[in-house]
Structure 1
Amino acid sequence: MTPVILVTFAGRQKRMEILTQYVRRALDLGIIDEWHIWDFTRADDDYAWVTREFGPARYMGSKVPYQTAGTVTPQASFRTSARIRHDLHIAIVPNDRSQECYEIVVGGWKNTHSALRKITRDQLQNFDRDNQANLWIKPTPGALSPGQPNEVVLMLDSAGVPTLRINDATIGTWPELNLGAGASVLIRGGWGADLELCDVNARTRRYIGNPREQLPYFQAYEYYATRIDAFADAVFLKCDDDIVYLDIDKLDGFIQFRRANPHYFVVSANVVNNGVCAYFQQQAGSIPASVGDFERPPGGFGGSLWESAERATQLHAFFLSTGGAALPLPEPVVDWTERQSINFIAWLGRDLRHMALPQGDDEHALTIGVPTFLERPSAIYSDFMVSHLSFGPQERGWDPTALIEAYEVLMRDRLFPADAPRLRAAG
């Protein structure tokens, strides 16, 4: 099986809602098999939206606070499969005492001890445990296995007394905790230990990077590169969260081209509002001179389009005026050896062996650093169009609301044609 996995670094709600509609249609059609949402949000409102919108958490960095994982009742145990080397944290919030929380630490202190403590509701969102008294502590050397997922079972007896078992070994039983009304269960890693919940296999799932990290994207590449055995046969797509148009009808052709041409390291879609693509689009006569002069960015990076909201608006307006018509390049495939913006790219899972990227400029690494080292070209595929809303320099003093609304109308025209006239009339 060669699954198709789309990776998106999320997420700004106002910019990502249109993409969500396109991707869900691609999932429904079977063009994409999995959508991995990497939560690198910076604003609290965006974090809350991503958490509500995109399925259960599969992975969380060591600095990520508790995430909801399930429930436990006397009739139904909580079970999960957790890959973690040490410091598995499980929080229990009784249904009948919502401000009362308990925390079980499994394999703490370098996987030597486990503990139970009472914490406040606020402490679910932080790691501050200074002067926190343990209600219970016990030596549990080697409780967590680093070599396989750890099987976690939290059960309640008929009186509501909890027992926790890890890999068929009893960690503890706590008769002083009455959970007869059931409880919510939350989970996290901590103290340098990332956590992966291996039984979370929803088609759309969240991967939560460590919050407020500068240039955080290396966390995603490292995750896949260290699991190459699981992903070697996959085709990966990676897109920005502000892709506001995606030609669903041509997406599968792009994927098939990627599969059939392994000599390319990465392959880019034909992108609206991408300096290199705009240059080639104009060279092919797809963008008239009246829209602007789109030069070849020096070395494939920067340029007048990249830094100008006005030029981006003109280009978007032209593309929208065509109803999302294709903007062909001079050739069906343009070989490329310079830098390019990675707004929508594809790579093969087998190449993850070269993608354990350091923290830094992932775009340079994927389009210059690694391809130069491997002596492999990249490419731009003409027949698959996407539109990218904005680059950082374009956003200074720019309000893209009108463009987002126009792209929403185009999306409705393409995906929900029966509803589009009503939407336009309402607007």
Structure 2
Amino acid sequence: MIDGHRVIAWTPYGRRRTYSILFKYLQRDVERGLIDEVWMYMNTDPTGQEDDIAYAHDLANDYPWAHLKHRPEGVDLGNLPKQRYTGLAYREMTDPDTVYLRFDDDVVYIHEHAIENLVRARLQMPAPTAIFPVIFNNAICSHFLQACQKIPTDWGTVAPYCMDPTGWANGPFAVKLHEMLLDHIEAGTVDQLYLYQDFPIQPGTQFSVSCFASLGSMYAGLDQPGILIPDEEESWHTIHHPLATGAPNILRGDAIVSHWSFFPQHPFLNATDLLDRYRALADKAVA
């Protein structure tokens, strides 16, 4: 718990390769008393992901605070890609005294102060739909990192657009980002990458939701508790609900995580040893 509120970290789960790194950081922060439960919302294909599914079940069996969550029964899912199912998970998130932390399953680093700083910001600012950390390899975050002179502009200038060609699709740019962050992690100087302030995100601005903090009281207060309309979670949290409330989302300057890859970046990142470096650091986090 943090400041008397339960903290649940949840992930639309699909890939053992990267989630096995994220889970080490979640385990670290459970053991530090910052996270109460970890939820794996199963978002896998029924065939072809047997190893991924078995790994999630093993974690749930081995750690009493790790739980599997499943798509609700009786909901017509139609013929949508599995990425569209994740908005249904919020039906589980209606405890008004809980802060929910969403992580993509390819978040591969959580700074040691990130959870505490993000949750406290969430509690201090109840109006925004979402409070985001500084997510390395997120285009809008890269824009603000450049504005604060943390990322060189000669790598390519990033506009405040979630699918900016440099910040979202440029593989060599992503490689440089990860190299820079890893160098700071290994040197113990990640706090040098903090932004100078928190930044409001104008309502209606789409933002890649690789990680954010939200309040159970917000979902409990919906006309149908926990049911997002529309049910696509990124659009609801970054466009529709902020426009409806008039409250901007917030980018928190002193909480840092790292998101591994968008699909156009895969060939470039997979040709490096960067994920191995992240895995070695995660192993040390729970050593």
TM-score interval for Structure 1 and Structure 2 normalised by the shorter chain: 0.7 to 0.9
Determine the structure 2 residue equivalent to 1:293: 156
Determine the structure 1 residue equivalent to 2:21: 18
Matching residue's letter, 1:341: S
Deviates more, 1:369-378 or 1:44-53: 44-53
Matching residue's letter, 2:206: R
1:237 aligns with 2:101: yes
CA change 1:303–1:26 in 2 (3 A) is same
| Structure 1 portions without partners, runs of 5+ | 57-200, 417-427
Determine the structure 2 residue equivalent to 1:381: 252
CA distance in structure 2 between the partners assigned to 1:309 and 1:360 by the alignment: 30
Deviation at 1:55, TM superposition (A): 3.4
Residue by residue over 1:114-164, the C-alpha shift from the partner in whole angstroms, topping out at 9 and shown as x without a partner, is xxxxxxxxxxxxxxxxxxxxxxxxxxxxxxxxxxxxxxxxxxxxxxxxxxx
1:336 aligns with 2:188: no
Find the partner of 1:347 among 196, 214, 219. 214
Determine the structure 2 residue equivalent to 1:169: none
1:51 aligns with 2:51: no
SS of 2:244's partner is: helix
Find the partner of 1:273 among 115, 137, 148. 137
Matching residue's letter, 2:88: Q
Determine the structure 2 residue equivalent to 1:305: 167
Contact 1:238 1:345 in 2 (8 A): yes
CA change 1:288–1:302 in 2 (3 A) is closer
Determine the structure 1 residue equivalent to 2:9: 6
Matching residue's letter, 2:57: T
CA change 1:397–1:246 in 2 (3 A) is closer
TM-score (norm 2): 0.84
Identity of aligned residues (%): 25
CA change 1:400–1:266 in 2 (3 A) is farther
Find the partner of 1:27 among 25, 30, 38. 30
Determine the structure 1 residue equivalent to 2:39: 36
Deviation at 1:398, TM superposition (A): 5.3
CA distance in structure 1 between the partners assigned to 2:284 and 2:113 by the alignment: 14
Matching residue's letter, 1:343: S
SS of 1:411's partner is: helix
| Structure 2 portions without partners, runs of 5+ | none
SS of 1:216's partner is: helix
Written as runs of structure 1 = structure 2, the 5 A alignment for 1:75-154 is none
Find the partner of 2:111 among 234, 244, 247. 247
CA change 1:281–1:18 in 2 (3 A) is same
CA change 1:52–1:414 in 2 (3 A) is closer
Greater fraction helix: 2
Larger RCO, structure (CA 8 Å, separation 6 or more): 2
1:219 aligns with 2:84: no
Residue by residue over 1:171-221, the C-alpha shift from the partner in whole angstroms, topping out at 9 and shown as x without a partner, is xxxxxxxxxxxxxxxxxxxxxxxxxxxxxx942110123799621112202
Contact 2:13 2:44 in 1 (8 A): yes
How many correspondences in the alignment?
A: 264
1:411 aligns with 2:286: no
Contact 1:271 1:386 in 2 (8 A): yes
CA change 1:361–1:401 in 2 (3 A) is farther
SS of 2:273's partner is: helix
Deviation at 1:254, TM superposition (A): 1.7
CA distance in structure 2 between the partners assigned to 1:2 and 1:256 by the alignment: 10
Matching residue's letter, 1:261: M
CA distance in structure 1 between the partners assigned to 2:279 and 2:251 by the alignment: 26
SS of 1:248's partner is: coil
Matching residue's letter, 2:22: L
CA change 1:414–1:223 in 2 (3 A) is closer
Larger Rg: 1
Matching residue's letter, 2:120: Q
CA change 1:394–1:13 in 2 (3 A) is same
Greater fraction strand: 1
